Structures are given as structure tokens and as C-alpha cells.
Structure 1
Amino acid sequence: MSIQNREIAAIFEEIADLLEIEGADAFRVRAYREAARLIPGLAEGLAERVANGADLTELPSIGEAIAKKIAVIVETGRLPQLEEVRRRVPPSLRELLQLGGLGPKRVKALREALGVASLADLRQAVEAGKVHELPGFGEKTEAQLRERLARWQGPSSRTPLIEAEELVRPLVEHLRGGPGILDLAVAGSFRRRRETVGDLDILVACDDGAAVAERFVGYDAVAEVLSHGETRASVRLRSGIQVDLRVVPPVSWGAALHYFTGSQSHNVAVRRRGVERGLKISEYGVYRGEEAIAGRTEESVYTAVGLPFIVPELREDRGEIEAGERGALPDLVTLDDIRGDLHAHTDASDGHDSLAAMAEAAAALGYEYLAITDHTKHLGVAHGLDAKRLAAQIAAIDRLNERLAKRHEGRFQLLKASEIDILEDGSLDLPDEILARLDLRVASIHHRFDLPEHRQTERVIRAMDNRHVNILAHPTGRLIGAREPYAIDLERVMRAALERGCFLELNAQPSRLDLTDLACQQAKELGLKVAISTDAHSRAGLERMRLGIGQARRGWLSADDVINSRGLAALRRLLRRA
């Protein structure tokens, strides 16, 4: 079975949620939860490890019982224990978890105290004003639930980009293993690097479409074949995502790739320019009358309508057509521009790997520097560091840097840093004395997301008033599909950062991607530079920089707009506040 790590983690996360709703033993729940947290960050696929006979219990948080369950999932694609608990917990109760703002503990409390077993029950309890009376809820929580219920339109049908990557990568490899493929691309919103995707669109140029379609529908992760023809086919994978295949002749490759990449509004704007020039543009090519004048390459499509090539990330009809006309398209940042990562965690707080392991992983990526930003003391759930522990880490980094300088001939260095909690009043949870000893300070909000906009905004600006703060991390606090951004005047925060010599982070963690693409564009227009950082909690997490790069490119950012495109000496100059 070609099952991915994230699919295995999702199974363990779901069983942990459902067992917690049932009130199962806390240690049993924690075992599933810890495994679900660890597995997505592993560099190697668990399916490979099982196939190679590796001892899974050598991995942290994986005991014998969990290891056996992983083997069952890899071999069968399912876990009987999950199916059993699903039968015990009704679907209407499970749906409450998808609303947002309700974890399994709260669902359990609502069920036991108020008999809530469905969204309808919850709506009735909220309208009757009963929820805020429960311990751990309160009036603000009740108001938030009322708002979410008003917006509820059912579970999202979109898949986070990283999950789509992990699902489509082995399918693409499977297709490339067949004969006769000349070109292959995953198109649609995936190619435009949107943070979530709907269906996946795979485009293939070849001479034998029937053979490719047959190989496509025969992929072992296909749960259902929706349609099957010689030039197009559609399937639903075990994960639930739909994948559509289109096979085109090589002569139409560029036109088809442009058409199926979208966005629709961008394509409409390009076709409109074609009409003005007496051309017809379709997925088959660019035509003047009956004559095909372009379409073998995407570049030829744009040339036909008097435009330079526009990269997929910009194709949202947000001014890219006009910029192309003026010769003003940005030279977008690339992964090769990045010289280091400014937000990463170790096992000193809530990361999985040691200082040395994180350093070697960053050096292996060709970086010049990596900032170690373990959490500070206020975030107790993440084992945050107090001043004493941070001082010890500073000394440890100094010692390690001496060894790294010899090993890497002075080409790599760890930066002494910290992710400092912003308290409700805007103060920081560590004293200035210890912060002054750091190379870099990243400040962030991890609690009281419910403050009114003016208070949240003032809270952040007051934190940036502290001369030690360099970067505001994950500036809106959103978790894609799970938590809405907190109320904040982001433009005012950006202007305040610019005035104080601070920067905002584009957090590349796949559940965050915070800043949004539009916010990146706004920062660029204001002249505010950003840091693209992974917020890595493991060595594998460092490799997610590509997700931040995709978001930055969608936000029109060039290398000059990104502070960690600089070498270490230039970065230090940027971080120096007056």
C-alpha cells in the first residue's frame, strides 16, 4: 500500500480525539496523540521502514503497541481499532470537532453536561445561553461558537497544500514509471501554490493516452474510479481527494497547461486580450481563424497576446496582466535565494531533535545560519525556557558553534535566539537582561486570541516597542481550517514594525502559512521586509521552506523583500535596532 505518513498520523489523531470524547484512559490517548504529532515530521516514509523491516520503536514516542498498529495501517490501509471507535461515537458527534473551537475535551463536556450530540443540539444550547455556564467555556466562547455556527457550511472540501503534495507525489512517480510520457505536470491551484486545493489536476502529454489512463486508474491508492476514457479519467483516492487526468498531444501542451493551471479570472483576462487581437485561445492552442499560431509552450501563449511569461503563482488577476504590459513583473524570490532559517525549535522545548542535529540538517541544506528559537517560560505546554535555561542554551550554542566552525570551515553558524511570548499587556515573558544576550528575538502570541481588535493591536505594538524584538512571528495566529485569525489591525501593525525597525514573519508551517499572500503583497507595498521561516520542530521541518516560498511568490515578494535572503553579516546589520 502506498500510504503516506500524514495519512497514518490522521488515523492516530482521529482515534485520539474519539477516545478522548469517550473518556478513555489518558495515557492511551496520549500515546496516539504523540505518535500523530511525531509522524508528519519524519524524513523517511513509515511505509518504507515497515517494508525494510526497521524497528519502529527506535523512533521517539513509538512504543510496541503503536508500532504494530503502524504496520497494520501500512499493510491494509486501515486500522480496525479506529473503525470500532467510530461505530461507538456517532457521526453527528464527530462533526462537532470540525466546527472549530471545540476540541475533544469540550465536546465531551458538552455531551455530559447538556446532552449535546450534534450541531443542532449545540445550536440550541448556545441560543438558550447554557454553554457559558459550563466550567472552561464562558461568554466569549459561547459567542465564538454562535458565530461559527452562523458561518457553518459543512466540512471543508479543500485539502491543505502539503497534504496534496504528499498524496500526489507517489501518484506522479507511478505515472512516470509508465512508457511514452513526454511531459507531466500537476496543474490547477496546486501549481499556483494556493494554501489549500480542491481537486487535483494532472496533465500529461504523450502519444498513447489509453495506456496512461489505464495506469492512472490502476494506482493502488485509488478508492473509486469516477470515469475512465482514453484522454481523460477521474478517480477518488483513499484520502477522499479527487484527482482528474487529462491527456493532450504535445502540440497542445503549453495551451493546455495554461488553461488547466488557471486561475479562471486570469485565463479570462488573457482570452480577452486574445479576442482584441483577433485570436481564439483554448486548451488546444491559440488560433487565428483555423490556423494554430501558438500553444506548444506556455510562453508562446503569452507572446501571442503581447505579454511576457507570467509565473503560475501570480495568475490570480491581481494586477499581473497590467504589470506584464508595463514590464514591471517582479523577479520573485526562489528557494535558492534563502541563506538561512530564523525560526526553529529543539528538544529543549517542544521540538524533536537536538541542537546539533538541527544545526547539521540546516548546514546540509546549504544554509549559512539557523536561529534556534525555543519557546519561553510562559508557554508551559511547550516546556518553555526560563532565563536560567536560556542562559544554559546560549552557552551550549557557543560551544557547539566552535565545533561547527571547524567542521564547516566557518560557513555555518547557529544564532542564539528565542521565541518570546507576548503577554496580554504587551510585555514579554523574559527580562531584557537575558534578551540582550541573544542574536535574534522572535515575539509571538500564544494565548488570549479573543481580545478585541484595538487591544490585540496595541498589545503587539507595545511588544515591538521593546528594542530587543526583531520579528513578529505568525502575525495573525491563524491555523488553516482550524482557527480563524485573531482580530488585529494588520496594516497598523505593519506600519508600526516599519517605524521601529522590526519585521514580520511569513511562517511556512503548513497549518499556518501566516502571513497570507495578500498580506505579503500589502507588506511589499508599504516597504516592510519579511522573514520566511519554517517554525521547524524537527530536522524534516526545515525542508518546508518551499511552502513559505510559494506563499511569498503569490504575494509578489522578491529576494530583496526577504531578510533571510541576506548573508549573515548583512542580516546582522538589518537586525540592529537603534
Structure 2
Amino acid sequence: MPLHNADMAAIFSEIADLLEIQGANPFRVRAYRNAARAVGEFGKSVSTMIEQNEDLKGIRGVGNDLAEKLREIAATGKCGLLEQLHHEMPAAITELLEIQGLGPKRVRAIHDALHVRTLEQLHRAAKEGKIRDLPGFGEKTEAHIIETIEAHLHKSRRFKLALAEQYAQPLIACLRRTPGVGEAVVAGSFRRRCSTVGDLDLLVTARDAAAVTERFVRYDEVAEVLSSGETRSSVVLRSGIQVDLRVVAPASFGAALVYLTGSKAHNIAMRRIAQQRGLKINEYGVFRGEKRIAGDTEASVYATIDLPWIPPELRENRGELRAAAAQRLPTLIQLADLSGDLHAHTKASDGHDDLLDMALAARERGLSYLAITDHSSRLAVTHGLDAKRLAQQIDEIDRINRTLQGIVLLKGIEVDILEDGHLDLPDAILKRLDVVVGAVHSHFNLPRERQTERVLRAMTHPSFSILAHPTGRLIGERDPYDIDLVRVIRKARACGCHLELDAHPDRLDLADIYCQMAKAEGVLISIDSDAHSRFDFDNLRRGVDEARRGWLEKHDVLNSRSLDQLRPLLGRTAVGKVASA
């Protein structure tokens, strides 16, 4: 089986960690770190590119040396450099990096001083008071390490939806090739498009259940078979994801799909409604007494309790059953409803492609406008734009728009919101822009009141258009900062600005429940790719997934508007200055 991008990225990431723990050249460490991120986020299969002899230098940060290592990984599943590093330093030490607050430098300090190699050893050393006396640590850090390890050891592992997709899609495609298979779908939280999934639930109908099970347990990526039966089986893939398979008769497919899709709370609420009508709903069908009256399709199951089919993204028991009963289910946003993208980067800051390449890629996706929002200069690691460089980019966009057909580039910036709530660029340059996307990129640990006031102050700026990734979360890596989103949402309504749903698979921020809250307050959401290369516009579909979970309809989404409809909504003083419009 070809290796997934996530597998290759994991190898590069581990190399970067081990090199940094060793104290290697920071530029070398950064090269592997950046390549890991770029490969993991890349929109095409790197293995397929290698099979087709495509140039890998189109991947951000990948030069000759790293391209050769990617080919080595694709051919062997291993990397010689990583094997060498494992010999030089125990591989288990990278587990220590999973503890929040322990970067490679601190891991190296603990390892060198106490010869700690595993989480268990680290926990024991902290409990015995051996961490506090190390330079740069102390009692508070030691207590935090104990608390974090104990939480980590008890927390079930979850996988980002984008990563789970890399493993689910080829597996379900493999099962569909089994002779006699009818339906084959992925259910569970994956089908509800949750931002993370704990495991994968597969549902199949087939003439020969044993043949499906045999193919499932012998799938190339299976690391461990937990159970194997004719209708139920469970395995763990090499990636660590558990996959559960159910094989059912066609007459039960709809009922089983409702049951396995969940959520548990949604299913319980459905069963209560059915019980009030003298019916029983389970994974085999809907029964009146011993007679099955429905179950072959999901729609037939819902119809028995006088409800229309409910989209999987809504099945969280957050009012969807009441809305369905009242015939008020939302007509959820679709990817095709998006007219443009209001957050994208070029190589002027930390992107990979130039203005024209980004414009053409967006046009190929059917978009009619694209806002270029490179970082402002305060975010030094991104080579952000100061006022002079931004002015030059504005002029360049105007030149391109004079000849560009089928799409319009909007002039914008992702400007840092400083600690005091001011914006990281002078008013004079911000007034020249069509879109000003404000973002918090620092001081994540401010107290709730200060963090909230900081953002509220920024939103009052007359050029402010959209609040980017409003909680700052990085899924599985960084918790949201502490902010009062109710106040933020209401401030957006009062100021006439908007909130972003950043569709990058590591963010998906604004999360679904806050999208639903913004909708209730009449605040528009901009679903943006946060693209850093021409391949990243695929992110938009992930943003649409999250938006659908938040009950958003086309009219709730800012960038579902045509350009003419959009202009009056972008900031209080920004009045579209695109030369070709």
C-alpha cells in the first residue's frame, strides 16, 4: 500500500524532534519541521506523485535532499536518517514531547540530567521532586508536568478528521472491491464530520459476509486484529486508528447506518420518540412488536416517527429533532455555494506560490474572487509585510487585475492584533485595502477579560473586516485561548464586522457550536481556506463540513455572496478598490 502523506510527515516531524533534542543546527531542524508540515497538509498524494515521476519541489520547503528522502520513504517505508537517530537516541523519548510545555530543549535537559526516556520515568521523577531543581524548571513546572502526564495517560487518543480520511478512504475502497458488496460507508463521528474521531466505524452490506471480513482483517495496513467474526470485526491500523466493521443485510442497512452514525444522544432521543408511539428502533430496523416495519434506508427509519431525514452533521441532539418535527431543518451550506475565499497567503509572507498562481488555482476551483491576506510584519517568523511592502503588493494586485479574467484579486492583510488591541499596521495603509483580517498570534495566555477586551478593541477599528480563527485553537496541539465569545459575537454584530471559520484542518475555528451561536445573533461567517499554496483550496470543503455542523445556510456565510453583494459588507470604510471591477 502507498504511504499516506501523514505517514511521511510523521517521519520528518520525528527527525526534527530528535535532531533538536540532540542540539543539531537550528536551520536543519527547521527544514525538517517545515517540510513535515508542508507534506502533511499537501493536497495531493506524495506517493502518487513519486509513482508518476512528478517533481516534488512544488511542495513548500522540499528541495533536492528532502525530495530524495521522500522517495526513500515511499520505496521502503523507512528513512535511513531516522534509523540512525534511533540508534543514537531512544525513540521513546519523543513521547515526552507530547506533554504540553516540554519542548525539545527541555526534554534534552531532563534526559541529560536524569536519564529520563519515557513518560513513566518522567512521571516518577516529577513525583519524587527531581524536576524542580533543574535549571529553568521549578516547583510550578514540576506540578504542571505531573498534572499533564496524568491527564495524558487517561485521555483516549483522537485523530484529526483530515488525517482519518487518509486511512478511511482507501480502506473503504478496498472493501467495495470485494465481490458481492452492495453498500460500503464510513459511519460514526467521521460521517458526522466531527473535527476529530476516536475510531472508524465501517458499515457494509454483502452477499458473502465472510469474504468481506477476510479482506478486512488481511488489509495491508492492519497492525493488530482485535476480533474477527462473520458480522463484526475490529482491527487496529499501523497508524493507531481502531476500525470496527459491521456487515448487515440490505433490509437493515438504513437502521444500522442511523445507529452507527450516532450521536449517542441523538439516537437515544429518537428511541424515546419511537417508544411513545409503541415502536422500537435498533440497529436492525424499526419494529412494531415483532414485525419490522422499516430499516432499509435512513429515510424510512425517520419516517416511522414522522420526521424527515436529518443530515448527519446535525445529529448531536442540539435541537435537530424539534426542528425536523416543525419542518424547520436548515438547508445547509454546500461547497458549491462559496463564491470566493477571503484568507490566503502568497510567498510574499509564508506562502509558497505567487499572486497569479494563487488566483489561477482559485479560479480552477470555481471561485470568482480571492483575497490576498499575507501576514503583517509583527509575525516575524512569517516574513510578514510592513506598510511599504504591502503598498507594493497593492499596486501589483491592481496590475494583475487589469488582465486577469474570470476572477478578481482583493487586496487584504492578515494583520496582527497586538496585546493592547491595536492593529499592527498604520491606518493609512489599512484604508487602501478591501479586506482587513485581524488575528491573534501572540499572548495566548492573557486572562479572559484582557484577552476579550483586546479583541473587542481591535474590532472597533474602522477598517476591520473579519476576525480570523477566533479562538486560536490548534486541534490536538493548542487549546483555545480564554475569551468570551458571546461578547465577541455581539460586538461583531454591533460593529458590522464578521467572524471567520478558518478551514485549515488543524484549526476548523470557529467551531460548530459557536457558528450556531453566531447564526442566532445574525453575524455572518466567512469560510476561508487559509491557503498557503495553490493546493490548499481543498481546505474549503473541510470548513463547509464544520459550518454544516454549526447549522449554517448559504445566507449565513459571508463569502457565499457575489462580489457586488460582498463589497458593502467588507469593513465600514473599505469600499472595493479593485481596478478591474
Alpha carbons of 1:103 and 1:185: their partners in 2 closer, same or farther (altered >3 Å)?
Answer: same
User: Could you tell me which residue of structure 1 aligns to residue 483 of structure 2?
Assistant: 488
The aligned runs of 1:286-305 (5 Å cut-off) are 286-305=286-305
User: Could you tell me which residue of structure 2 aligns to residue 400 of structure 1?
Assistant: 400
The aligned runs of 1:189-200 (5 Å cut-off) are 189-200=189-200
The aligned runs of 1:32-43 (5 Å cut-off) are 32-43=32-43
Q: What CA distance in whole angstroms lies between the structure 2 residues aligned with 1:570 and 1:324?
A: 31
The aligned runs of 1:236-315 (5 Å cut-off) are 236-315=236-315
Alpha carbons of 1:59 and 1:474: their partners in 2 closer, same or farther (altered >3 Å)?
Answer: closer
- Letter of the 2:15 partner, please give it: I
Q: What CA distance in whole angstroms lies between the structure 1 residues aligned with 2:229 and 2:539?
A: 37
Q: What CA distance in whole angstroms lies between the structure 2 residues aligned with 1:297 and 1:195?
A: 26
2:342 aligned counterpart, secondary structure: strand
Q: What CA distance in whole angstroms lies between the structure 2 residues aligned with 1:426 and 1:397?
A: 29
> What is the aligned-residue identity percentage?
55
Q: Is the 8 A contact 1:370 1:415 kept in 2?
A: yes
Q: Is the 8 A contact 1:426 1:463 kept in 2?
A: yes
By how many angstroms is 1:68 displaced? 3.0
Q: Is it true that 1:120 corresponds to 2:123 in the alignment?
A: yes
TM-score by length of 2: 0.92
Q: Is the 8 A contact 1:2 1:221 kept in 2?
A: no
Work out the number of aligned pairs and report it: 570
| 1:460 alignment partner, one of 439, 455, 480 | 455
Q: Is it true that 1:414 corresponds to 2:417 in the alignment?
A: no
Q: Is the 8 A contact 1:114 1:125 kept in 2?
A: no
By how many angstroms is 1:321 displaced? 1.4
User: Could you tell me which residue of structure 2 aligns to residue 536 of structure 1?
Assistant: 531
User: Could you tell me which residue of structure 2 aligns to residue 3 of structure 1?
Assistant: 3
Q: What CA distance in whole angstroms lies between the structure 2 residues aligned with 1:259 and 1:330?
A: 22
Give deviations 1:384-416, integer Å, cap 9, x for gaps: 0011111111111111112213xx3xxx11111
Unaligned residue ranges in structure 1 (runs of 5+): none
By how many angstroms is 1:64 displaced? 3.6
Q: What CA distance in whole angstroms lies between the structure 2 residues aligned with 1:57 and 1:515?
A: 33
User: Could you tell me which residue of structure 2 aligns to residue 545 of structure 1?
Assistant: 540
By how many angstroms is 1:486 displaced? 1.0
Q: What CA distance in whole angstroms lies between the structure 2 residues aligned with 1:150 and 1:197?
A: 22
User: Could you tell me which residue of structure 2 aligns to residue 444 of structure 1?
Assistant: 439
Give deviations 1:413-453, integer Å, cap 9, x for gaps: 11111000011111111001111111000000111111111
Alpha carbons of 1:536 and 1:60: their partners in 2 closer, same or farther (altered >3 Å)?
Answer: closer
- Letter of the 2:390 partner, please give it: L
Q: What CA distance in whole angstroms lies between the structure 1 residues aligned with 2:353 and 2:58?
A: 14
Q: Is the 8 A contact 2:43 2:538 kept in 1?
A: no
By how many angstroms is 1:493 displaced? 1.2
The aligned runs of 1:119-158 (5 Å cut-off) are 119-120=122-123, 123=126, 134=136, 148=148, 151-154=151-154, 156-158=156-158
Q: Is the 8 A contact 1:98 1:155 kept in 2?
A: no
By how many angstroms is 1:564 displaced? 0.8
Q: What CA distance in whole angstroms lies between the structure 2 residues aligned with 1:503 and 1:147?
A: 38
User: Could you tell me which residue of structure 1 aligns to residue 234 of structure 2?
Assistant: 234
Q: Is the 8 A contact 2:127 2:146 kept in 1?
A: no
User: Could you tell me which residue of structure 1 aligns to residue 159 of structure 2?
Assistant: 159
User: Could you tell me which residue of structure 2 aligns to residue 475 of structure 1?
Assistant: 470
By how many angstroms is 1:220 displaced? 2.0
Instruction: Let me know the Cα RMSD of the aligned residues.
Output: 2.4
Alpha carbons of 1:15 and 1:337: their partners in 2 closer, same or farther (altered >3 Å)?
Answer: same
Q: What CA distance in whole angstroms lies between the structure 1 residues aligned with 2:138 and 2:459?
A: 31
Give deviations 1:119-138, integer Å, cap 9, x for gaps: 3267459897557x62xx89
Give deviations 1:82-127, integer Å, cap 9, x for gaps: 2443454446642221122333234334545787655326745989
Q: What CA distance in whole angstroms lies between the structure 1 residues aligned with 2:154 and 2:84?
A: 25
Alpha carbons of 1:380 and 1:110: their partners in 2 closer, same or farther (altered >3 Å)?
Answer: farther
TM-score by length of 1: 0.93
Alpha carbons of 1:97 and 1:128: their partners in 2 closer, same or farther (altered >3 Å)?
Answer: closer
The aligned runs of 1:93-112 (5 Å cut-off) are 93-111=93-111
Q: What CA distance in whole angstroms lies between the structure 2 residues aligned with 1:247 and 1:128?
A: 52
User: Could you tell me which residue of structure 1 aligns to residue 222 of structure 2?
Assistant: 222
1:343 aligned counterpart, secondary structure: coil
By how many angstroms is 1:215 displaced? 2.3
Q: Is the 8 A contact 1:3 1:221 kept in 2?
A: no
Q: What CA distance in whole angstroms lies between the structure 2 residues aligned with 1:308 and 1:213?
A: 33
Q: What CA distance in whole angstroms lies between the structure 1 residues aligned with 2:249 and 2:343?
A: 46
Q: Is the 8 A contact 1:123 1:149 kept in 2?
A: no
Alpha carbons of 1:35 and 1:216: their partners in 2 closer, same or farther (altered >3 Å)?
Answer: same
